[in-house]
């Protein structure tokens, strides 16, 4: 959105906020809007609730809703880095996504909040729509009550955007709810780790296309959504706002499939392509699950002849470092020795690590000295690694002095 459009929207918000907010949406307005849904009324006013149901057999892209119930809770805990997911039932999880006026700070309004959840044999999508600014409080009151029925949340980039903004709007409406304390799995972060280098972008629509084989038709670009909402508030034309409601629905429905795919990678890792297999290994390693990480990297190490060289090298290096951490020194040395001929593709790490092992663990100064000399010559012959020369020269001088003393 350019500066001119941003300034226009800010002026529009100020005009709307300064007008008489006690005005209720009239029956004439509602007739003109022709939006599907049910008007919900409470002590604070009214808003529009749109609800749709999907049988578990329904397929979104290449994933059926019923696949959600194949997920084991331990993998939710792993992906979400939240052990409380182990004690939460799958039908206690709410998928949540918001559409906003797009401005930062307290001036932001969440005019559409969607919540998806599973109940018995169906997936239910509820969308809370604020037809005008005076409908924010009644909408938030109902959302506050409804969220009490769930024990955990799943979002896409919700930790950065949706949940903090929901909390802010609740506070500004004098509804005090500690929504950030609820167990929360943000799908964006594990997606970046599990498909790193495999995908070129990690927005939701790109993940839909590449993971779910789902392609939206005539979708509303996210950057246009604030302008569409303001236009709806002014003119009550339902055509474009219905597209925004559809956009929000796709966001929430796709989250189910993306969660299924993320769990598939971390649970069926050995069946993944080598690049994703390596990412899964790093995922387990960073989560201190070293036994599983070792299993994954061992497969890459053993696949020297069938694996792409990049992932054979990367996986083998990680395996060597894990063995070092576990004090399995001989196993680590075996790997670094095998990697030395590949040094042109990843640098002098093998020479450095082997020299350390031979000097400090094996107490074999002559072998350490021989390794350092090989590493020094490698760096001198390979300009891109010349920055390592001073380190090797220092090691060489120290080892020669040690050898003289012995």
C-beta of residue 320 within 8 angstroms of C-beta of residue 332:
yes
Q: What are the sequence ranges of the domains in the chain?
A: 3-267, 271-405
What's the mean pLDDT when you consider all of the chain? 91
Per the listing, tokens 């972060």 go with: 189
Mean pLDDT for 211-239 is 94
Residues 181, 185, 188, 192, CA torsion sign: positive
CB atoms within 10 A of CB 197: 11
Residues 358, 360, 366, 368, CA torsion sign: positive
Mean pLDDT for 178-202 is 95
The torsion angles phi and psi of 121, rounded to 5 degrees, stand at -105, 30
For 126-140, how does the pLDDT look when each residue is reduced to its tens digit (9 = 90+)? 999 999 999 999 999
Homologous superfamily of the 271-405 domain (CATH): Tetratricopeptide repeat domain (1.25.40.10)
For 254-299, how does the pLDDT look when each residue is reduced to its tens digit (9 = 90+)? 999 999 999 999 999 999 999 999 999 999 999 999 999 999 999 9
Q: How far apart are CA 334 and CA 313, in angstroms?
A: 14
- The pLDDT assigned to 278 comes to 98
pLDDT band at residue 8 under the 50/70/90 scheme: low
Q: How far apart are CA 357 and CA 367, in angstroms?
A: 10
pLDDT band at residue 405 under the 50/70/90 scheme: confident
For 77-128, how does the pLDDT look when each residue is reduced to its tens digit (9 = 90+)? 999 999 999 999 999 999 999 999 986 666 799 999 999 999 989 999 999 9
Domains 3-267 and 271-405 share a fold: no
3-state secondary structure of 51: strand
Check whether 24 has a pLDDT greater than 80.
no
Report in angstroms the alpha-carbon separations of 239 from 22, 212, 321: 26, 28, 58
CB atoms within 10 A of CB 221: 9
Report in angstroms the alpha-carbon separations of 385 from 120, 353, 369, 389, 392: 61, 16, 19, 8, 11
Fold of 3-267: Nucleotidyltransferase; domain 5 (3.30.420)
């Amino acid at each position: 959105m350019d500066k001119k459009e941003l300034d226009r929207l800010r002026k529009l918000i100020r005009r709307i906020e300064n007008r008489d907010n006690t005005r209720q949406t009239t029956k004439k307005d509602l007739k003109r809007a022709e939006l599907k849904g049910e008007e919900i009324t409470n002590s604070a006013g009214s808003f529009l609730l749109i609800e749709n149901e999907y049988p578990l057999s329904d397929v979104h892209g290449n994933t059926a809703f019923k696949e959600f119930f194949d997920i084991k809770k331990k993998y939710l805990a792993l992906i979400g880095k939240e052990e409380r997911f182990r004690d939460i039932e799958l039908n206690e999880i709410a998928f949540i996504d918001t559409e906003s006026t797009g401005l930062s700070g307290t001036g932001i309004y969440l005019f559409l909040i969607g919540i998806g959840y599973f109940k018995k044999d169906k997936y239910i999508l509820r969308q809370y729509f604020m037809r005008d600014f005076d409908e924010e409080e009644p909408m938030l009151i109902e959302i506050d009550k409804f969220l009490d029925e769930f024990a955990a949340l799943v979002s896409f980039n919700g930790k950065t955007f949706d949940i903090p903004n929901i909390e802010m709007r609740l506070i500004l409406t004098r509804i005090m709810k500690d929504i950030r304390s609820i167990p929360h799995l943000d799908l964006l972060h594990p997606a970046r780790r599990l498909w790193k280098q495999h995908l070129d972008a990690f927005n939701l629509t790109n993940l839909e296309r590449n993971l779910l084989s789902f392609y939206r038709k005539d979708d509303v670009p996210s950057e246009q959504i604030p302008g569409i909402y303001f236009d709806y508030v002014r003119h009550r034309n339902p055509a474009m706002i219905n597209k925004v409601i559809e956009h929000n629905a796709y966001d929430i429905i796709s989250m189910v499939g993306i969660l299924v795919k993320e769990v598939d990678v971390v649970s069926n890792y050995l069946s993944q392509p080598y690049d994703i297999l390596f990412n899964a290994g790093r995922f387990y390693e960073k989560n201190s699950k070293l036994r599983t990480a070792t299993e994954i990297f061992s497969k890459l190490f053993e696949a020297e002849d069938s694996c792409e060289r990049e992932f054979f090298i990367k996986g083998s290096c990680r395996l060597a470092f894990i063995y070092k951490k576990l004090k399995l020194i001989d196993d680590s040395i075996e790997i670094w020795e095998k990697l030395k001929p590949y040094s042109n593709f990843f640098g002098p790490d093998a020479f450095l690590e082997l020299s350390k092992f031979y000097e400090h663990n094996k107490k074999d100064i002559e072998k350490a000295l021989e390794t350092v000399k090989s590493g020094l010559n490698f760096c001198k012959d390979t300009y891109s690694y010349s920055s390592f020369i001073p380190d090797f020269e220092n090691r060489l001088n120290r080892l020669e002095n040690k050898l003289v003393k012995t």
